[in-house]
């Protein structure tokens, strides 16, 4: 079984500061994928970034980067220069390549303060 | 816009009724996933189809069923609805069910309220 742990239920960050959202995972699979999604209050689930377990370099997508530490089973999301529009729930998820099941964490509610 | 289209966006229905949620995947995507998001259970994987065939099954109730049609759109049927079925139902799609690094994109969800 796979598990995602997000230990920060809520975070308040000043606008323009960098933010790190924590994610640790547990899996017995050798190959897997790690995702971060953003869910604003309107409800849609927006893909942010993906990291494959076999990728040696950390993934980056614009202001988003994924700090992947495989030995620690950690996949933290870093948002640089936070903006008011970044206020949302953020979910970390792991994909089992074998059964195609995407397992989500409980999420972190990020609030950006002007 | 993820390219995944879900209808209806909002639905209110009574207990015991049956509803159908519809999903059109991104152009070129063969794999469709259904997820349920509720306050008490979080995001739960329900079922996955790849090119018309069921590929993986999660915590899907027997009252629920799904299918993927030849044009690759998918429908999730929820029957004998209970109050606890009220949730946000997501459809997601990816290019290849044999996952090799393809991103999974979600639709905007269908809000179901059972009264």
Q: Extract the tokens encoding B80.
A: 């004998």
| Cβ-based contacts of A34 with chain B (< 8 Å) | none
Nearest beta carbon to residue A47 from set B35, B97, B105:
B105
Residue A85 DSSP SS3: helix
CB-based contact (8 Å) between B42 and chain A? yes
Q: String of b and e for A83-93 (b: at least 16 CB within 10 Å)?
A: eeebbbbbbbb
The per-residue pLDDT for B39 is 86
Whether residue A33 and residue B99 make contact (CB cut-off 8 A), yes or no, is: yes
**Radius of gyration over alpha carbons of chain A, in Å?**
14
Spans of chain B, pLDDT less than 50: none
Quick: pLDDT tens for A55-77.
889 999 999 999 999 999 999 99
- Tell me which of A13 and A31 has the higher pLDDT: A13
């Amino acid at each position: 079984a796979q598990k995602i742990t997000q230990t920060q239920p809520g975070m308040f960050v000043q606008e323009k500061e960098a933010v790190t959202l924590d994610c640790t995972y547990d899996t017995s699979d050798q190959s897997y994928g790690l995702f971060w999604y953003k869910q604003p209050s309107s409800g849609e689930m927006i893909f942010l970034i993906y990291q494959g377990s076999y990728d040696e370099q950390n993934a980056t997508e614009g202001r988003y980067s994924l700090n992947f530490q495989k030995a620690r089973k950690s996949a933290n999301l870093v948002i640089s220069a936070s903006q008011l529009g970044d206020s949302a729930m953020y979910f970390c998820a792991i994909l089992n390549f074998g059964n195609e099941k995407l397992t989500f964490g409980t999420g972190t509610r990020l609030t950006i303060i002007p | 816009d993820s390219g995944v289209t879900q209808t209806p966006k909002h639905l209110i229905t009574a207990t015991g009724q049956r509803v159908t949620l519809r999903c059109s995947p991104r152009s070129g995507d063969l794999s469709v996933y259904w997820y349920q998001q509720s306050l008490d259970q979080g995001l739960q994987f329900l079922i996955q189809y790849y090119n018309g065939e069921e590929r993986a099954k999660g915590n899907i109730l027997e009252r629920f069923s799904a299918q993927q049609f030849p044009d690759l759109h998918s429908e999730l049927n929820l029957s004998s609805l209970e109050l606890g079925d009220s949730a946000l139902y997501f459809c997601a799609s990816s290019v290849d069910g044999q996952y090799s690094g393809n991103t999974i994109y979600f639709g905007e969800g269908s809000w179901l309220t059972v009264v």
